[in-house]
Structure 1
Amino acid sequence: MEQISSKKPTRARYGMLALVFVNVAISYLDRTNIGVAASALGKDLHLSKIELGYILSAFGWAYAALQIPGGLIADRFGPRILYAFCLITWSIVTLAHVLVRGIASLFFLRLATGTLEAPSYPINNRVVTSWFPDNERASAIAMYVSGQFIGLAFLSPILAIVQVYAGWQGLFIGTGLVGLIWGIVWYLFYRDPLDSPNVNQAELDYIEEGGGLFRVKDRTKAQANLWRWSNVKHIFSSRTLWGVYIGQFAVNATLWFFLTWFPTYLVEYRHLGFIKSGYLASVPFLAACAGLLLSGFLSDRLVKQGKSVSMARKAPIIVGLLLSVSIVGANYTNDTALVIFFLSLAFFGSGMALISWVFVSILSPKELIGLTGGVFNFMGNLASIVVPIVIGYLVQGGDFKPALVFIGALGLIGACSYIFLVGKIERVVIPDTTNLLFVSNQK
């Protein structure tokens, strides 16, 4: 397509970012709707807490397992077609939830949802890496990731009301229809930088000179190299990356508590009414959004001020993970306001740490952004399997205190991982015939 001619750079990248923001919000609606419906579903299907834990983890089994293939698919196919396909198909699966009659069919549908959402975050990272220069990338990541919190903060009360008046079936119908419609909107409006009619050469130059990767040459040849096991081996062999992987598992542990067991915690353990719990549940999500945006803009500001990449990117994540430990404070009060305060502070910290996706852009070879993002997201999303199941066992006696201690301990482990394993970030050359570069840590 012919691009706009002007000496002043256009700002088309922000329009593309807005589209990704909505994608993220919808994807998290379809991840958390099962958490909102969990209490009613558990009663209707006669599920124990342990069985419910496995249901809540089912999404994660497929989602985590398919992150590496999802990353490879994101590198091979364009975001426009692939994201539209994923949005429409996982929304159809969401609609199919109304047909469940037992644990087997429900588990299968959650697996299918995780399967179809698997490429989403590698695609998000590819879009941001293509459309944004290095010094704007943490802010861009923070803005699109905030979609999961802003969407859930404002829609949690609505989801609770829908469930009260339309049942859990109405909940899945509503969230499924929203995604189905938006998949079509995404296909109609998204374009890569070189294909967009709204971007001019000045903006393309600004993005490319700042490190944006939209002009990848010899893509066909490069794609053939993606499937080599040596590439995966390199991505798993870095001490720095292992520090980031462990940290991401800890960040996602807090996130998945809020996405799965949090509504049940408020209703069954804190004995709050369902609609009231829906309104109170929005507060931690707003706090997480605030932490995420603060961290992203602060991190980019430090980079622009000339601070080291290691300090500018790692410090907000470490502080955030340490703050997430405060979730344990909710065990020591029966005051609802204080409970929400401790949970909100912990989720604020978890939100700060979610700019960790910026390390994918920093550490990825140019041709392996999707693969690196897939491995990173696979390791982090193991928490989506482990956390719901472990909590299911911990709370089977009706006491959530051990579950909050478990989440707090993981936050502390994540902070230690960034402090002691993730050192100074430096780019090194991997001995490989493809001459691809990979970033690792050299002490």
Structure 2
Amino acid sequence: MHNHPANKAIPPRIRRSQAVSLALLVICGVINYLDRATLAVANEYIRADLGLSLGEMGVLLSAFSWSYALCQLPVGALVDKVGPRWLLGSGLVVWSLAQAAGGLASTFGWFLIVRIALGIGEAPQFPAAARVVSNWFPIRSRGTPTGIFNSASPLGVALAPLCLPPLIAATSWHWAFFATGALGIVAAVVWIGVYRDPVRTELDAAERAYLEIDEAGKTAPASGFASWRALFRYRTTWGMMLGFFGSVYLNWVFLTWLPGYLRTERHMELAYAGLAASIPFLCGFVGALVAGWASDRVARHAASPVTGRRNAVVVATLGMVAFTIPAALAESNAVAIACISIVIFLANASSACAWSLATVAAPPSGVASLGALQNFGGFLGGALAPVLTGYIAQTWSFVPALLTGAGIAFLGAMSYLFLVVRPIPEHDPQAG
């Protein structure tokens, strides 16, 4: 047990690279989510200014998700091939320019184009982060760093309604887009300037041993389209795609509808609803951090890294289901907020565990590819959730809408449990 890689002393140079990489990933991730949330925060001002209907705003809010989900298909393989430094760096530039261009929008069509471009630019963030973690951390110690880079998501969502409204009030909604776009350009320069992948020839024996690179220097082989296509032959890939669809669907029900739900279904005052809506996302920030750490502990004692990390995803997702039911049915607003806070804590825990699962279930050359395929499944759920929830709530009420989300998440948990059983082997090019 004491010889376990997780218990080895971390060589100083590796520890420094780990700390720098994670700090940069969190900063980029927070900017990523601030940019996604700017439209939601400035929603009323933009609708009034451009004369948009609620339906048109719904289309704008979901446009990002569709291009983001579709780009997950090629982007994972690209990260594995080109590397995270240049792909995340160029993604940052693209999404920051698209974000700044949102501040120049004066028509629905222009806004639609920049939101689609934002989804394309943001696509490399999380597959690149998974690749960085697999490059710099040994296999049984990847949960904690995965939790850390995932914590940027709820942190960005929680910061947006705190930072952006004062800026909008002091200037106009246009400046919320200009400022966040400029922030991303600065981050892109820093990321490309500072981040480096480990270079095998420059590592000493202790560093290679820590990263579990054998003495022959065998690291991840080059990835290609054939190895990406081969991932679809495995039940594990499909289990992860279907499973993440379920957990992200339920998370996005709350991500997109929570303030509206609190005001319309629970009749909360506007100011109180805003505060009540930010509490669960701060819980989500803690959830991502705790889950990463906890999944490392579970993985160290599990029969295999895949089993340990998969079980962590299943437990967190079933917990989301269990607490969504009283959230939907409780009379008390305080009980509902408490239950929703637990759901979002567990949603971010589930997401952190799912990304760390990708780093151990994938073949060495396909970590970003498998993570991106899982994320593609998840964001199909994320794109569907706001539309289906709105339709069900409009036709009946939010109660069946939330219970539908719980049912979809339950099916996701079962997909992980029964389909994700063993890691995917490295693709042999000779096998076709």
TM over 0.5: yes
Worse-superposed segment, 274-283 or 99-108: 274-283
Task: State TM-score, norm by structure 1.
Answer: 0.84
Matched, 1:378 2:376: yes
Which of residues 54, 72, 77 in structure 1 aligns to 2:82?
77
RMSD of the alignment, in Å? 3.1
Q: SS at the partner of 1:100?
A: coil
Q: SS at the partner of 1:382?
A: helix
Find the aligned partners of 2:10 and 2:157 in 1 and give their Cα distance. 40
User: Does the 8 Å CA contact 1:149/1:286 hold for their aligned counterparts?
Assistant: yes
1:366-386 CA-to-partner distances (Å, cap 9, x unmatched) read 223332233222122112321
1:345-381 CA-to-partner distances (Å, cap 9, x unmatched) read 1112212211111232222222233322332221221
User: Does the 8 Å CA contact 1:122/1:370 hold for their aligned counterparts?
Assistant: yes
> 1:299: how far off?
1.7
User: Does the 8 Å CA contact 1:244/1:422 hold for their aligned counterparts?
Assistant: yes
Alignment-mate amino acid for residue 193 of structure 2: L
Find the aligned partners of 1:144 and 1:202 in 2 and give their Cα distance. 28
Q: For residues 396 and 171 of structure 1, do their structure 2 counterparts lie closer, same or farther at Cα, with a shift above 3 Å needed?
A: farther
Alignment-mate amino acid for residue 350 of structure 2: A
Superposed, 1:163-312 pairs within 5 Å as: 163-194=168-199, 201=204, 204-209=207-212, 216=219, 222-223=222-223, 226-228=224-226, 231-272=227-268, 274-305=270-301, 307-312=303-308
Q: For residues 148 and 74 of structure 1, do their structure 2 counterparts lie closer, same or farther at Cα, with a shift above 3 Å needed?
A: same
Which of residues 420, 423, 426 in structure 2 aligns to 1:422?
420
Q: For residues 154 and 385 of structure 1, do their structure 2 counterparts lie closer, same or farther at Cα, with a shift above 3 Å needed?
A: closer
Q: SS at the partner of 2:106?
A: coil
Find the aligned partners of 1:271 and 1:165 in 2 and give their Cα distance. 29
> 1:86: how far off?
1.5
Q: SS at the partner of 1:193?
A: coil
Find the aligned partners of 1:180 and 1:416 in 2 and give their Cα distance. 41
1:193-250 CA-to-partner distances (Å, cap 9, x unmatched) read 2299xx9736632443279xx9647x6xx35xx123xx34421222222121111111
Q: For residues 180 and 287 of structure 1, do their structure 2 counterparts lie closer, same or farther at Cα, with a shift above 3 Å needed?
A: same
Aligned to 2:346: 349
Q: Structure 1 vs Structure 2: percent identity of aligned residues?
A: 31
Matched, 1:327 2:324: yes
Q: For residues 136 and 277 of structure 1, do their structure 2 counterparts lie closer, same or farther at Cα, with a shift above 3 Å needed?
A: same
Q: SS at the partner of 1:191?
A: coil
User: Does the 8 Å CA contact 2:140/2:305 hold for their aligned counterparts?
Assistant: no
Aligned to 1:440: none
Alignment-mate amino acid for residue 281 of structure 2: F
Find the aligned partners of 1:141 and 1:312 in 2 and give their Cα distance. 15
Q: For residues 102 and 270 of structure 1, do their structure 2 counterparts lie closer, same or farther at Cα, with a shift above 3 Å needed?
A: farther
Which of residues 140, 146, 150 in structure 2 aligns to 1:145?
150
Q: For residues 405 and 192 of structure 1, do their structure 2 counterparts lie closer, same or farther at Cα, with a shift above 3 Å needed?
A: same
Q: SS at the partner of 1:381?
A: helix
Alignment-mate amino acid for residue 104 of structure 2: L
Which of residues 91, 108, 114 in structure 1 aligns to 2:113?
108
Which of residues 359, 362, 380 in structure 2 aligns to 1:361?
359
Aligned to 2:127: 122
Worse-superposed segment, 138-147 or 236-245: 236-245
Q: For residues 400 and 36 of structure 1, do their structure 2 counterparts lie closer, same or farther at Cα, with a shift above 3 Å needed?
A: farther
Alignment-mate amino acid for residue 339 of structure 1: A
Find the aligned partners of 2:284 and 2:174 in 1 and give their Cα distance. 28
1:115-137 CA-to-partner distances (Å, cap 9, x unmatched) read 11112222111111111111111
